[in-house]
């Protein structure tokens, strides 16, 4: 897929029109503003810039172009958004290299036929539930579970009669073939050659829909003693159990607005939650939360609340879901202050310096609803709505949940079980980067198992010392003024390697605190054009190291300040990550998806970074098996960009990647700086003092980040 196709699509479509279909835009000078569709807010902080065809929310800090907006607004992945926008723009994807137009048209026709078959089956099931006399037990069961008639109709619930081939006979009469019925998972071929028989019989039917609301499969609950109790459509061209979330099509708007998704275990759990107003609820089909589920969810919300059944199986599913979420969610790099070593505190002329360690932190909140024993979510909602609301308002934070789950089978009055509780919980406490929270949980554990706090602290420290660190340590001047920054060039504030860290890899760049005056108060001055130039000049020497010298043939790639445009810098960084996936750990704390202006490079960075963060071993597979086909040409282009440069060793690679990421980050910040100044000027002219105040606050944050980059590049030398 050529990036020129992406650019053609963007040239033919107007971001303002696309955004305007979702939110009400208000013209403000040369920009448009609105309430952000991706988080709750009272004052508009979402801006669309027609000239650059990009959007940015100064509230939740999400940003992007028309592709990212469609992906976030509709819950689509990149290939789906590409097809959607290409169709809107009248751009054919058939003529792209490696694209078999005839084959793709045939596959698309088959999938569309399968969708229509599922829709017809759903209508038949639904009418059977509403009209057939023999469906009375099914209707009575749904009523006994507290579902209203409106809910049954809204979710399109149905009934499969206790008949060998009633559905098959109907669908065959509508012109579908026997093979189509089998391919859709609606019928089976018997070994006795007696003709097709219905896959679902004597069951309540729950239609399963994709994010667009199209029926792709079914779940059936047995009536009476039928086994298995729940039966799902087998895997088809449309339906894959491990990637579908039930009710996601109805929940996605509420998920975006609440910035939260609630995951329950069963169909009726999800339906009951919607009936009682908790519309950000979805259910896993088969109860196991998978990476594909998390990939869908994290596009819409940064808070995941698990409300699985409170029995042993549910507790196990909850822990599995937590681990899957932790593995699949993005991470940010956060600075963690460490105690100043005693030898550095004594006799230090310039005052004590803080030691900062960088740690990874999941960029989301995970919590758990603790429900009464023996009651599923739908029972709690129906029998005690106030108890459900209370659980929603006060979910257990992740660590608190582990305190409950990891000690549920222990008698904490017994010394043996007390020791076991400590062994189970101390590693979890040790993962908390916030020292205040970590200390609080140590005290909580000490009270729980009736032991001395100091003993637990000692054991925790031994555990932390034995843990192989994946973070860097850096000494940062206590006063981050210009004097200290200049001093860093003479060795003060120099980055140092953690003694246990792998020797060949330099530490990650620090996110040091900057922008404080000598009293420790935050500076509030604005960044004048002169100070912008000062930052640029100060960075020039630091970024000069990103230059890649010419190779033996004299045709090397020069990565100097003026040698490449922004897209070429993006290509170079992507090329480095493709050839050396381990570099992701060194750049993910510097740059994020929103810092890329190229749609294809942004998606490729997101894909590669997600793979690395999940600890994927699939990097050993061929590239064409890893990447979406739409990004293969971009990947090849990025690799050519790196291959044109002289080879670099391990330290040189890390330096080139981090400095390239830093340059791209700074470019994005300077762009935001310009846009904010423009918006502030317009707000002043309009007399909107509240907007001026809010935008100036955002401008100060941008300036803080620019100063942070300034300090970082000096420390990195």
* Interval 275-305: pLDDT, tens: 999 999 999 987 688 888 888 888 788 899 9
At 590, the pLDDT band (50, 70, 90 cuts) reads confident
Which has more pLDDT, 555 or 315? 315
Average pLDDT over residues 639-662: 85
Residue 515 has a pLDDT of 29
Q: What percentage of residues in the chain have a pLDDT greater than 90? A: 33
What SS3 string covers 681-701?
A: HHHHHHCCHHHHHHHHHHHHH
Report whether 63 contacts 49 (CB < 8 A).
Answer: no
Residue 474 — left, alpha, or beta (φ > 0 → left; ψ -120 to 50 → alpha)?
beta
The H-or-E segment that residue 263 falls in is strand 261-264
Whether residue 67 is predicted with pLDDT greater than 80 in this model: the reply is: yes
Tens digit of pLDDT for each residue in 84-102?
Answer: 898 888 887 765 555 555 6
Residue 546 has a pLDDT of 35
Q: Cβ contacts of residue 173 below 8 Å, gap of 6+?
A: none
Tens digit of pLDDT for each residue in 619-634?
Answer: 556 666 667 777 888 8
Residue 678 has a pLDDT of 86
Q: Among 231-235, 254-258, 324-328, where is mean pLDDT lowest?
A: 324-328
Which has more pLDDT, 389 or 242? 389
Name the CATH code of domain 102-239 (choices 3.30.70.2190, 1.10.510.10, 1.10.10.60, 3.90.980.10): 3.90.980.10
Report whether 65 contacts 53 (CB < 8 A).
Answer: yes
The H-or-E segment that residue 84 falls in is helix 78-89
Whether residue 475 is predicted with pLDDT greater than 70 in this model: the reply is: no
Whether residue 556 is predicted with pLDDT greater than 80 in this model: the reply is: no
Q: Among 5-14, 546-555, 616-625, where is mean pLDDT lowest?
A: 546-555
User: Alpha helix locations (H) across 467-516?
Assistant: 482-488
At 492, the pLDDT band (50, 70, 90 cuts) reads very low
pTM (predicted TM-score) = 0.64
Average pLDDT over residues 184-189: 94
Q: Identify the bridge partners of residue 217 per DSSP, sorted by sequence position.
A: 208
Tens digit of pLDDT for each residue in 410-433?
Answer: 999 999 999 999 999 998 888 887
* Phi, psi dihedrals of residue 383, rounded to the nearest 5°: -85, -30
Taking the CA atoms of residue 333, residue 658, residue 508 and residue 668 in that order, the dihedral angle to the nearest 10 degrees is -30
At 565, the pLDDT band (50, 70, 90 cuts) reads confident
> Strands 46-49 and 31-34, how do they pair?
antiparallel
Q: Among 48-62, 359-373, 588-602, where is mean pLDDT lowest?
A: 359-373
Whether residue 221 is predicted with pLDDT greater than 80 in this model: the reply is: yes
Whether residue 351 is predicted with pLDDT greater than 50 in this model: the reply is: no
Tens digit of pLDDT for each residue in 653-694?
Answer: 888 898 899 889 988 898 888 888 888 988 888 888 888 888
Residue 645 has a pLDDT of 78
Whether residue 156 is predicted with pLDDT greater than 50 in this model: the reply is: yes
Which has more pLDDT, 530 or 283? 283
Is the CATH number of domain 241-337+357-398 3.40.50.12780?
no
Q: Is the peptide bond before 228 cis (omega within 30 degrees of 0)?
A: yes
Which has more pLDDT, 409 or 334? 409
Is the CATH number of domain 566-715 1.10.860?
yes
Residue 536 has a pLDDT of 39
Report whether 191 contacts 244 (CB < 8 A).
Answer: no
Structural domain boundaries of the chain? 2-99, 102-239, 241-337+357-398, 407-465, 566-715
Residue 296 has a pLDDT of 84
Report whether 459 contacts 425 (CB < 8 A).
Answer: no
Q: Among 208-222, 350-364, 571-585, where is mean pLDDT lowest?
A: 350-364
Going by C-alpha positions, the residue among 31, 20, 23, 51 that lies closest to residue 680 is 31
Average pLDDT over residues 463-489: 42
Q: How far apart are CA 181 and CA 200, in angstroms?
A: 12
Residue 712 has a pLDDT of 66
Whether residue 493 is predicted with pLDDT greater than 90 in this model: the reply is: no
Residue 461 has a pLDDT of 83
Which token pair is 27?
A: 């013209």
Q: Among 153-157, 355-359, 581-585, 657-661, where is mean pLDDT lowest?
A: 355-359
At 161, the pLDDT band (50, 70, 90 cuts) reads very high
Tokens 């084959």 belong to residue:
103
* Phi, psi dihedrals of residue 509, rounded to the nearest 5°: -65, 145
Q: How far apart are CA 600 and CA 625, in angstroms?
A: 18
Helix (H, G, I), strand (E, B) or coil at 336: strand
Whether residue 207 is predicted with pLDDT greater than 90 in this model: the reply is: yes
Average pLDDT over residues 360-377: 81
Helix (H, G, I), strand (E, B) or coil at 332: strand
Residue 125 has a pLDDT of 98
For the chain, helix (H) and strand (E) counts, in that order, are: 29, 21
At 593, the pLDDT band (50, 70, 90 cuts) reads confident
Which has more pLDDT, 639 or 478? 639
Tens digit of pLDDT for each residue in 14-40?
Answer: 999 999 998 999 988 889 999 998 887
Helix (H, G, I), strand (E, B) or coil at 671: helix
Residue 538 has a pLDDT of 36
Which token pair is 548?
A: 């890649």
Residue 545 has a pLDDT of 33
Q: What is the layout of strands, in order, in the sheet containing 31-34?
A: 26-28, 31-34, 46-49, 54-57, 63-64
At 521, the pLDDT band (50, 70, 90 cuts) reads very low
Q: How far apart are CA 460 and CA 422, in angstroms?
A: 9
Residue 644 has a pLDDT of 83
Residue 643 has a pLDDT of 86
User: Alpha helix locations (H) across 285-356?
Assistant: 291-297, 312-328, 342-345
Which fold does the domain 2-99 belong to in CATH? DNA Primase; Chain A (3.90.580)
Average pLDDT of the residues of the chain: 78
At 363, the pLDDT band (50, 70, 90 cuts) reads low
Q: Identify the bridge partners of residue 245 per DSSP, sorted by sequence position.
A: 284
Which has more pLDDT, 228 or 299? 228
């Amino acid at each position: 897929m050529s990036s020129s196709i992406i650019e053609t699509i963007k040239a033919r479509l107007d971001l303002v029109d696309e955004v305007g279909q979702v939110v009400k835009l208000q013209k403000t000078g040369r920009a448009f503003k609105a309430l952000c569709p991706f988080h709750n807010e009272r004052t508009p902080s979402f801006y669309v810039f027609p000239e650059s065809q990009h959007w940015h929310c100064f509230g939740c800090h999400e940003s992007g172009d028309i592709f990212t907006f469609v992906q976030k607004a509709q819950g689509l992945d990149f290939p789906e958004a590409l097809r959607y926008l290409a169709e809107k723009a009248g751009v054919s994807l058939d003529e792209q290299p490696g694209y078999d137009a005839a084959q793709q048209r045939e596959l698309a026709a088959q999938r569309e036929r399968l969708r229509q078959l599922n829709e017809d089956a759903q209508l038949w099931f639904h009418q059977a539930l509403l009209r057939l006399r023999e469906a009375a037990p099914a209707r009575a069961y749904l009523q006994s579970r507290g579902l209203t008639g409106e809910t049954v109709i809204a979710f399109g619930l149905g009934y499969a009669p206790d008949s060998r081939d009633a559905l098959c006979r109907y669908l065959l009469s509508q012109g579908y073939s026997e093979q189509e019925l089998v391919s859709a998972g609606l019928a089976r071929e018997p070994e006795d050659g007696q003709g097709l028989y219905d896959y679902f019989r004597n069951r309540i039917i729950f239609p399963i829909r994709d994010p667009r609301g199209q029926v792709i499969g079914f779940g059936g609950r047995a009536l009476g003693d039928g086994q298995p109790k729940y039966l799902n459509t087998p895997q088809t061209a449309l339906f894959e159990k491990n990637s579908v979330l039930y009710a996601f099509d109805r929940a996605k708007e509420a998920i975006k607005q609440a910035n939260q998704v609630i995951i329950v275990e069963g169909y009726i759990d999800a339906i009951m939650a919607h009936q009682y107003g908790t519309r950000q609820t979805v259910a896993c089909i088969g109860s196991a939360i998978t990476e594909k589920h998390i990939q869908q969810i994290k596009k819409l919300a940064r808070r995941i609340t698990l409300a699985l059944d409170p029995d042993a199986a549910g507790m196990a599913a909850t822990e599995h879901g937590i681990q899957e979420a932790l593995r699949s969610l993005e991470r940010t790099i956060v600075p963690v202050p460490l105690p100043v070593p005693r030898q550095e505190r004594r006799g230090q002329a310039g005052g004590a310096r803080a030691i900062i360690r960088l740690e990874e932190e999941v960029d989301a909140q995970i919590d758990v609803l603790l429900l009464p024993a023996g009651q599923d979510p739908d029972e709690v909602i129906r029998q005690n709505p106030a108890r459900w609301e209370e659980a929603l308002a006060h979910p257990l934070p992740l660590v608190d949940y582990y305190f409950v789950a990891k000690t549920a089978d222990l008698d904490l009055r017994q010394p043996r079980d007390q020791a076991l509780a400590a062994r189970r919980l101390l590693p979890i406490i040790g993962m908390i980067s916030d020292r205040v929270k970590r200390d609080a949980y140590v005290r909580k554990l000490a009270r729980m198992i009736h032991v001395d706090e100091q003993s637990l602290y000692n054991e925790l420290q031994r555990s932390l010392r034995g843990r192989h660190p994946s973070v860097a340590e850096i000494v940062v001047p206590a006063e981050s003024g210009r004097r200290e920054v200049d001093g860093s060039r003479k060795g003060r504030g120099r980055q140092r390697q953690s003694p246990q860290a792998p020797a060949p890899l330099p530490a990650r760049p620090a996110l040091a605190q900057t922008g404080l005056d000598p009293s420790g108060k935050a500076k509030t001055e604005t960044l004048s054009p002169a100070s912008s130039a000062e930052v640029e000049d100060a960075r020039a020497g630091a970024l000069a190291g990103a230059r890649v010298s010419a190779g033996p043939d004299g045709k090397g790639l020069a990565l100097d300040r003026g040698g490449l445009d922004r897209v070429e810098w993006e290509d170079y960084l992507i090329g480095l990550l493709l050839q050396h996936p381990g570099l992701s750990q060194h750049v993910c704390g510097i740059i994020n998806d929103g810092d890329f202006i190229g749609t294809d490079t942004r998606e490729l960075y997101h894909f590669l970074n997600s793979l690395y963060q999940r600890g994927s071993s699939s990097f050993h597979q061929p590239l064409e098996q890893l990447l979406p086909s739409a990004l293969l040409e971009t990947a090849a282009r990025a690799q050519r960009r790196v291959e044109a440069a002289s080879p670099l060793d391990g330290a040189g690679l890390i330096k080139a990647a981090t400095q390239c990421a830093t340059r791209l980050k700074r470019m994005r910040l300077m762009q935001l700086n310009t846009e904010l100044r423009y918006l502030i000027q317009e707000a002043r002219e309009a007399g909107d003092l509240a907007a001026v105040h809010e935008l100036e606050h955002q401008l100060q944050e941008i300036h803080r980040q620019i100063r942070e980059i300034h300090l970082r590049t000096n420390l990195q030398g």
